[in-house]
Amino acid sequence: MEILWYEWLVTAGVGAIIGIAEIFSRYRDEPDDALLTLPAMGYLAVNASASVAALVVIRLLNWTFGIVAEQSIIAWAQVFIAGFSAMAVLRTTIWKVRVNDEDVAVGPSRFLDAVLNTVDRAVDRKRAAQRAVSISNIMKDVDFEKAYQSLPMYCFGLLQNLPSDEQEKVLKRVLVLRSLDVTERVKALLLGLTLMNLVGEQVLATAVRDLGDDIRRRAAPQPHPAN
């Protein structure tokens, strides 16, 4: 069966959308920054290409998946099955090899993980300096001891659909921060970074602004001028 141009386009689009959704889930604080990196574009291209390749195989083998309907309906079913199934194929592990007491996956998933790791490094390099400036400004006057309980809970409250297990992970991380042998200023910055990774920069900035003096350091008393 011939593959029409719009079928190529829709199949590739479905594969790319699945890739975009995965990138969004990995970089929730600034997903648009992640998408604008070259490795991320490459990852989307891999997803789109895999979906198109799956459609070619399906058409060559004339798989109808047991669908009894008009040819146009079968054709569109093949398009969407190809688009959604390609990622499942790329995530497969053919076998595992034991290397240095660790199980190393061998198969398409190994390649996909390598691409995602490249995306991770590219996003981290791009965002590092920007995040440092942002977190320094947001947490500038925040007192860690005042904020380590109320700030996370307020951020969680601002988001309606934040899973409880993710909240628990952050709270455990905050307790670890409290026990670190570093200055209060560093603890405050690390608290901000921990929350920013989960809720995003805008939500964190809003929470700090709303809590205001409840979590801010008290200004040092000014010496009285000598008479």
CA 59 to mean position of chain CA atoms: 34
pLDDT band at 47 (very low <50, low <70, confident <90, very high): confident
- Candidates 66, 87, 88, 86; CA nearest to 77 is 66
Residues 6+ apart with CB under 8 A from 86: 15, 47, 50, 51, 53, 54
CA 149 to mean position of chain CA atoms: 25
The predicted structure's pLDDT at residue 214:
93
Task: Give Cα 90 distance to the centre of its chain.
Answer: 19
Coil/strand/helix, residue 4: coil
Q: Is-contact 70 93, C-beta < 8 A? A: no
**Nearest alpha-carbon partner for 35 in 48, 21, 46, 49:** 21
Residue 187 pLDDT: 95
Between 217 and 2, the more confident residue is 217
Which range, of 29-38, 78-87, 157-166, 217-226, averages the lowest pLDDT?
Answer: 217-226
Q: Which long-range contacts (CB under 8 A, 24 or more apart) does 86-95 make?
A: 86/15, 86/47, 86/50, 86/51, 86/53, 86/54, 87/15, 87/18, 87/19, 87/47, 87/50, 89/50, 89/54, 90/46, 90/47, 90/50
Q: What is the mean pLDDT of the chain?
A: 83
**Is 50 within 8 Å of 135 (Cβ atoms)?**
no
pLDDT (mean) for 199-205: 90
